[in-house]
Amino acid sequence: MVGLIKNRINTSLRRTFLFYLVLISISAKIFAQDVNSLSKQYPDELAIYLNKKKSIFLDIHADTLTINTENFSEMIYLKDNANILSEKEIYYSGMLKVSEVEAKCMIPKGDGGMRTIKVTEFIDENVQERGIFFNDSKVKKFIYPSLQRGAKSSLFYKESYLEPRLFGPYFFSAEAMSLNSELSITYNNKIEIGYKVLGIEETALEKSEVKKGSKIITTWKMKNVPRLERDANAPNIRYYAPQIIVYIKSLKLKNGTVNYSSNYKELYQWTYNLVKGINKDSEKEIKGLVDSLLIGAKTDLEKSKRIFYWVQDNIRYIAFEDGYGGFIPRDAEKVYRKRYGDCKDMANITTYMHKLASIPAYLTLIGSRDIPYAVSEIPSSCNFNHMIATVKLDDKYYFLDATGKYQLHGQPTSMIQDKEGLIVMGKDSCMVLKVPLMERNKNKIIDTVHVDFEKNSLKGRGKRYMEGYPKITFAHVYGNLDQEDKVDYFNSFLSKGNNKCKVTNPIVKNASEREKPTIVKFDFKVEDYSLKSGKEVFINLNLNKDLSSLNFESSNRKTDFEEDYKYEMTEVTTLNIPKGYKVKYIPDNKKINEKDFGFEIQYELKKDKLVYTKKIYIDFLILKKDQFPTWNKMIKELNKAYKENISIVEN
């Protein structure tokens, strides 16, 4: 198949090159406006794509499906700092070959002409993506030289897919505005395709279809596409960028019709054929380990926990793949002997050890939350970038991701919450199940602090309690710190009041014990914390001003806001009223209770102690832009509360 593709590429090289020379010439005439008129028309744009186009060619050769693409883009630069956009990247892999890369830029000359500079230096680098099971990804990097206002650049390259099911989405938007963005598919009429438009109404696209003999050419165009906005903590661009996902439903071959992926069950057959031959000779070595782990275990749940935790503790996660190895797990015996593997290797040994313990367990393909698609709706491999194990215990399914080193059994890694998994059950048997979304009361941080007021300073002792995802996050960070770094870390992590806080004597309990909450005890002192007016002293008991800066009112944010998980935070501060003083003023309690977020602050005087309690809850993974006004209102009220002081006065 590779030879056929190469022959096709070579025979079409001259035709393609001449075609794009003509296209560039036509484009130059169409967009003959000078840079001044474009700058006036689009004053906020640093650069503009005059054309951005992907052409896909689907065909059948020797009863084999081939997929090739041609990619072309032309950009004009409108501002003096155009070199910000000089670095470009092209991604490829062992299953996606890139060839015939042509990049050049046209630089204005003093006489009104243009000087053409061809890019000759390209750098190829590996790309590492944690959790991904197709991970021989590489990137080809290059730089357009001498970019300036009025310059133009053009890029052309080809792609060849060695596995047709690896087809991904086409994004109409990019890092710059596009005057014309276009996807065309030329395919043999023996090929049936499907597609899904996302991020935009399909009516916003210009669609055309032309039939030429046995070929069908379908084209989608989008005009004046806004540049792709990227904000901090935004969902992946797949959530909001205008895009089309194309997939192949079926092929009419000499011996009949072959179903590809018109639904997830057909896609599953390809998946099953990749993994059906694994673990042929793995039982001999691993059976003894499993038997030793199960000694004294009384229930299947306890057996499952021992297996899962052993894999977490003893198999090191390393991502390394090439070609179809990116899809096929290594035999469990090899993973056991080498003590390392990627996500699918860890999923395989977890699944296999459960089967040796007579517990139903299945390999499961899944996507991280960076991928918003659902395989039940879009039967495409672009749904998947991860593999886990699914275990059935007492008619309940548990999703076990051993790449999460400190993950609690039954608690999915945060990146796969609410995602659909395709469960590998047998030759003709599969199932799609959704991973549960962990409720906010499973992810807690509780700070309990007792403070004394001494000579304009606060001196106290505290305890931080963490469970769920906050515990796991802490374990990952804390486990990778050396002793010197821990001092700085705790001064930041446990800081109270202001930047003069000094944390001492931190004691950590249960950091790596999965089934116990992590507790950190510590002492602290905050210098110069109070204000005094005559005999009256003002003290702010809001020692942690959580969320105070997370206001979108003036941020000009363009995208939704994403959290890693839902959670609850509680802070209880008990101030011991100093001898010779009494409480003069206590702020009013305050509460905001929205569906997806809220807070409550209470003050309570108990004899010679004043107890401050703050509770915050976040009950969303993605905060939509239309929720920002309500969110901003909450933050405004929270910040008002943070400015409130209690006052004590000498008797």
Q: Do both 408 and 449 map to the same domain?
A: no
Q: What is the pLDDT of residue 318?
A: 85
Q: 160: domain CATH number?
A: 2.60.40.3140
Q: Do both 561 and 444 map to the same domain?
A: yes
Give residue 295's identity as a one-letter amino acid code. Answer: I
DSSP secondary structure of 120-154: ---EEEE---TT-SS---EEEEEE-TT--TT-EEE
pLDDT digits (tens, 9 = 90+) for 324-374: 556 789 999 999 999 999 999 999 999 999 999 999 999 999 999 999 999
- DSSP SS3 for 556: coil
Domain final residue, candidates 242, 260, 278? 260
Residue among 516, 538, 520 nearest 529 (CA): 538
Q: Do both 476 and 600 map to the same domain?
A: yes
Q: Do both 424 and 469 map to the same domain?
A: no
Count the Cβ atoms, other than its own, within 10 Å of residue 327: 22
pTM reported for the whole predicted model? 0.89
Q: 534: domain CATH number?
A: 2.60.120.1130
Segment 137-145 mean pLDDT: 94
Q: Do both 478 and 524 map to the same domain?
A: yes
Q: How many domains does the chain have?
A: 3
What residues does 258 pair with on adjacent strands? Answer: 251
Q: Do both 461 and 602 map to the same domain?
A: yes
pLDDT digits (tens, 9 = 90+) for 332-342: 999 999 999 99
Q: Residue 133 pLDDT more than 90?
A: no
Segment 468-493 mean pLDDT: 94
Q: Do both 121 and 42 map to the same domain?
A: yes
Query: Strands 536-539, 518-526: parallel, antiparallel or unpaired by DSSP?
Result: unpaired
Q: What is the pLDDT of residue 95?
A: 87
Output 250-254 pairs: Cβ under 8 A, ≥24 positions apart. 250/191, 250/192, 251/60, 251/65, 251/190, 251/191, 251/192, 252/190, 252/191, 253/60, 253/63, 253/190, 254/63
Residue among 48, 327, 318 nearest 177 (CA): 48
Q: What is the pLDDT of residue 163?
A: 86
Q: What is the pLDDT of residue 126?
A: 85
What is the residue whose two structure tokens read 């639904």? 263
Segment 131-135 mean pLDDT: 50
- Please report which confidence band the pLDDT of residue 113 belongs to, taking 50, 70 and 90 as the band edges: confident
State the average pLDDT for the chain: 91
Count the Cβ atoms, other than its own, within 10 Å of residue 476: 13
In percent, how much of the chain has pLDDT > 70?
A: 92
Q: Which two tokens stand for residue 78?
A: 């409108």
Q: What is the pLDDT of residue 135?
A: 54
Q: Residue 24 pLDDT more than 50?
A: no
Task: Give how far Cα 105 sits from Cα of 73, 86, 251, 283, 588, Å.
Answer: 12, 10, 41, 60, 64
Q: Do both 485 and 598 map to the same domain?
A: yes
Q: What is the 3-state secondary structure (H, E, C) of 176-202?
A: CEEEEEEEEEEEECCEEEEEEEECCCH
Q: Do both 109 and 68 map to the same domain?
A: yes
Domain final residue, candidates 260, 293, 323? 260
Q: Do both 386 and 299 map to the same domain?
A: yes
Q: 322: domain CATH number?
A: 3.10.620.30
Task: Please give the residue range of the domain that contains residue 559.
Answer: 440-650
Domain final residue, candidates 260, 276, 301? 260
Q: What is the pLDDT of residue 448?
A: 98
Q: What is the pLDDT of residue 321?
A: 54
pLDDT digits (tens, 9 = 90+) for 387-425: 999 999 999 999 999 999 999 999 999 999 999 999 999
- Please report which confidence band the pLDDT of residue 2 belongs to, taking 50, 70 and 90 as the band edges: very low
Q: What is the pLDDT of residue 638?
A: 98
Segment 594-605 mean pLDDT: 98
Phi, psi of 180, rounded to the nearest 5 degrees: -145, 120
Q: What is the pLDDT of residue 28?
A: 42
Q: Do both 346 and 382 map to the same domain?
A: yes
Residue among 59, 458, 427, 83 nearest 275 (CA): 427
Q: Do both 247 and 295 map to the same domain?
A: no
